[in-house]
A and B are shown apart, each in its own frame.
Chain A
């Protein structure tokens, strides 16, 4: 027999999927169309037994998750498309909660559908939807809750703490391995778990930390950044908590082999000689060796070794080290490769001495899709970071300049921007603009004109994010 909690979660997932199907079909057909009616009927027969046993069903968006009656609904790959769709649609309307208070009828669902679709033309979609739902006795809705400024500052502190704990830990690992000490897998897991928790709660803030590149301890920050990006990507791929942790852990260890590269080569300010390149290219081998020596063999150490070895091998098996026996790259390796390339390309202290702007880096990665990088995973990655990832320095058509502060899941090219120079060309302390904001005639108020390289002008995100 299935575990009752698992069964409940499966039914909860099914419910989210059903409501997504209802709204999706209503976007293409009129509410009285047979496809919509049939989807609504299925939804009703799925939700009513729930309402009957629980008294009420509340579907709420919290962070990046749906909650049903305060219980988080786990992501699952089979419903990925519908979950993502519904999340975007809820956020687009500022809709936080839909509450089913009593046994619902087809009329109740029709009213919900009409409100859901009918509010789209309004400036404030949530208000419009609320108004259209006014007469509904069995269903009511609530606006999406935002964290208060004060809370925001506290969360920021926790995020920072989590990030720096991870970097400090990653630094400690290297020095311990170098001195022949054993490292604690228990602690490693805890570090990654805290990052996973933070990412599930505050994805944008934690991703923002990865955009700060100018630390002296580049290697350690890079490992943590790759781990965070991999965790985020794993989460988008609907991996379970345990699998995401494992992915974060192997990503954290992906560059272990760099500890064998002499520091004068690793930190060389100019380009590498052929001989130096030959040394650097050995780090995947050394990394795999170190990972296999971390502890006895188990799934995690095997995956860590495989990822450390393969993270510079391309999707088409070219790259380095030369693959003689490998027939395809590991799934985790392909994830870590994408995150590694992105973080490396946008940083100033790797083999390529000139860092790329985040949007430029993504464009280079798109060119590599199918040859060097897994095309499906890259697609998910770009969907995740958006066209203008956090940390991109943007110049707006309104002549304001700022840094991308938060991605907009609905409009990939319209993030929230922290303005650092106003339209008069004066440096300002920083205020946030939402580029998806529209004027009365329905046109966007502000748009991005150009992107700039923050490193070129020595502009550091740390000033604004730390």
Chain B
């Protein structure tokens, strides 16, 4: 070897250091990543094509090639030599034929941060598992032994116990007394055996979690001491964590199902019941719900059926954690699942759900209002009313909707002030919500509002929505009001009043019936195009229904 080879090998070491850093920093498709691998591969190929192999001897703080130091770093941080040395690697050899894929895989191994507790493998294990064809290494395994002189001691002990000549000759002389040979058939495997083996080898990871579950139930029944029970309960909890973290929700469901079954079985020992309860209640914990949230956010949870089933094992104590996670979830999909779950569990404790209304995040409050609306429990009205003055319009709107759904006559006074809101969308939602209450008082308020002189100045769509809202009552008061409106002869502000008349035609169409039709007929050929259009559409609706087919 020569100075040139030392120069190139120094360059290769620098390429290794650079690759170790860049592959960690950039994703595979990033140009820096690709460029780094290409440059390193070219450096290796240049050397290997000429010299055939590249041997790096690893010392604690330096790397030697062909007797020359090609790397030295006295510090402990980012020390390439120490990185290999501490795991026992003493030599690395790269051979001609090294492919770019192999080199990239090698870099992907050394880019790992092995000092992190989470990695169970060291650099040797990962290189060993990768089984490189053109990269080999020499490892010092001495550090694997716990006692320095164990081999020597054990070998000496056993040799000391070895038979003397007399024993051996005794065996030789007594051979005729020994039993005859025991015949053991050596039968080769057949195709059926191979098929059976293949089936075993193809089992996936889900199978092992399944095995774990059965193991834990076996262990639960074998516990004799309290500390054993405590341990097994904690294993169950870890198993639930593990199942959810690894997207095997069905396994967590299986545990809970079995626990439930055992709790309700008269055959289960009484002493086990409190411990079974500890397992089943774990599903309500903040930790499990956090894992579930992460899984839902990752969109890995493939089976919604299992997710709902898992949630069905939660009880009201899960509510605070579910509310908390609601504010942390990143995807709409995940939030939807948790909201639906809260709507089911929340029925058991409306007050607990209502606590979520105090969350500082407007979107959480809005989600909770949605949940309360879906719980359909009148007790929620008290909590919701307090949020009518929330400073976020999106929250206020949701409260108005919810109160309309839940409230009845008692919320009408709370809602009516929002008919005066500065925001058109709020006023429209309020009109709909008042209609939802179906209270006569709400009807009266709406008719009064629509009869006011200010009403005619509102936007056409808003007016249309008010008329649609009032049509839900479908009674003589409303019909009378609508007929009066449509028949009104405008003198001043004609266009605005004609808008009201068109909206009344629309509402009459929604109500239907002979009386409405007869009135509408009179406007089918009116000169005003807007009224004429709405009257004819309304007649069609009465004759053919909303679908356009004859009723």
Contact = CB atoms under 8 A, between A and B. Distances in A.
B201 A239 contact: yes
Contacts of A216: 154, 157
- The 10 A-B residue pairs with the shortest CB-CB distance, nearest first, are A172-B146, A164-B151, A457-B171, A168-B150, A462-B158, A363-B182, A463-B162, A412-B186, A458-B163, A460-B162
A382 B184 contact: yes
Contacts, number: 255
A169 B209 contact: no
B159 A421 contact: no
A408 to B, nearest CB: 11
Main secondary structure of the interface of B (DSSP, over half): helix
Given A239-B201, A285-B222, A302 B211 contact: yes
Contact of B171 (A172, A322, A413, A452): A452
Contacts of B184: 359, 362-363, 366, 382, 387
Given A162-B141, A164-B150, A296-B238, A387 B163 contact: no
A432 interface: no
B108 to A, nearest CB: 13
Given A161-B141, A164-B154, A165-B144, A193 B128 contact: yes
A289 B231 contact: yes
A61 B200 CA distance: 29
Interface of B: 88, 99, 101-102, 120-122, 124-125, 128-129, 131, 133, 141, 143-147, 150-151, 154-155, 157-159, 161-165, 167-175, 178-189, 191, 193-194, 196-198, 200-201, 203, 205, 208-209, 211-212, 214-215, 217-219, 221-222, 228, 231-232, 235, 238-239, 241-242
B197 A306 contact: no
A164 B180 CA distance: 35
Interface stretch (A75-83, A106-114, A141-149): A75-83
A305 B145 contact: no
Interface stretch (A124-132, A183-191, A266-274, A434-442): A183-191
Given A379-B189, A451-B182, A462-B159, 12 more contacts: A77-B198, A168-B145, A194-B141, A288-B215, A321-B222, A324-B221, A325-B214, A359-B184, A360-B179, A363-B183, A450-B181, A451-B181
Interface in A175-216: 185-187, 189-191, 193-194, 197, 212, 214-216
Interface stretch (A20-28, A33-41, A326-334): A326-334
A78 B199 CA distance: 11
A327 to B, nearest CB: 7
26 contacts: A77-B194, A77-B198, A81-B191, A160-B151, A164-B151, A166-B144, A167-B150, A168-B151, A189-B120, A190-B144, A193-B124, A216-B154, A288-B215, A289-B219, A309-B218, A321-B218, A321-B222, A326-B218, A363-B184, A401-B172, A401-B175, A448-B181, A450-B175, A458-B164, A459-B163, A460-B163
Contacts of A298: 120
A376 B241 CA distance: 36
A169 B144 CA distance: 7
A299 B208 contact: yes
Contacts of B191: 81
A77 to B, nearest CB: 5
A323 interface: yes
Contacts of B200: 331
Give the size range of A's interface with the partner.
35 or more
Contact of B189 (A81, A295, A299, A359): A81
B339 to A, nearest CB: 30
B219 A309 contact: yes
A373 to B, nearest CB: 13
Given A169-B144, A215-B158, A460-B162, A77 B187 contact: no
A78 B195 CA distance: 8
A386 B158 CA distance: 26
A81 B144 contact: no
A43 interface: no
A360 B181 CA distance: 8
Interface of A: 3-5, 71, 77-78, 80-81, 84, 160-162, 164-169, 171-172, 185-187, 189-191, 193-194, 197, 212, 214-217, 237-239, 241-242, 245, 282, 285, 288-289, 292-293, 295-300, 302-303, 305-306, 309, 321-327, 330-331, 357, 359-360, 362-363, 366, 376, 379-380, 382-383, 386-387, 393, 395, 401, 412-413, 420-421, 425, 427, 448-454, 456-460, 462-463, 466
B128 to A, nearest CB: 5
Contacts of B167: 457-459
A312 B167 CA distance: 35
B212 A305 contact: yes
A466 B155 contact: yes
Given A164-B154, A379-B193, A387 B212 contact: no
Contacts of A466: 155, 158-159
Contact of B217 (A84, A237, A324, A360): A324
A217 B155 CA distance: 12
A217 B102 CA distance: 43
Contact of A5 (B101, B141, B146, B169): B101
